[in-house]
Amino acid sequence: MQKKFIKNIEFEKKLKLCDLTDVVAGGIESRTLAQKDKFTMTLFAFDKGEGISEYVMPGESMIYVYSGEVEVVIDGSSFPVLKKGELIVVPADTLYSIDAVVECKLMILILK
């Protein structure tokens, strides 16, 4: 049997990205949908005020917001709030953080 890199999601079924994670009061929910040595795709749902504290990822990160709004700080610099449909790319080996301005859902793609 061939190894699957897509996981935690049904195959051959129409799905809505927004329905794959739920905002949890006062918390964060995550779901990794694909993972390989050099690639990871994870969905996150953040309650307002929640986020990911400063973190350095060994690969390039693409942060795509598909619901709500988040503030992203990259290497100490704040950027305009990312809103639904917007994305930002973080260079490899760079410190960044994410904070939910309102309830939000986003996808992070990491390429090493």
CB atoms within 10 A of CB 55: 12
The model's pLDDT over 42-81, given as tens digits with 9 standing for 90+, comes to 999 999 999 999 999 889 999 999 999 999 999 999 999 9
User: What is the residue whose two structure tokens read 């942060």?
Assistant: 63
pTM of the model: 0.93
pLDDT digits (tens, 9 = 90+) for 1-49: 567 899 999 999 999 999 999 999 999 999 999 999 999 999 999 999 9
**At residue 59, what are phi and psi to the nearest 5 degrees?**
-125, 175
DSSP state of 3: P
pLDDT confidence of residue 2: 67
CATH code of 41's domain? 2.60.120.10
Which of 108, 91, 87 shows the shortest CA–CA distance to 44? 108
Q: Is residue 86 part of a domain?
A: yes
Q: Which tokens is 41 given?
A: 């795709």
CA angle 51, 82, 54 (to 5 degrees): 35
| Residue numbers of the domain that contains 100 | 21-111
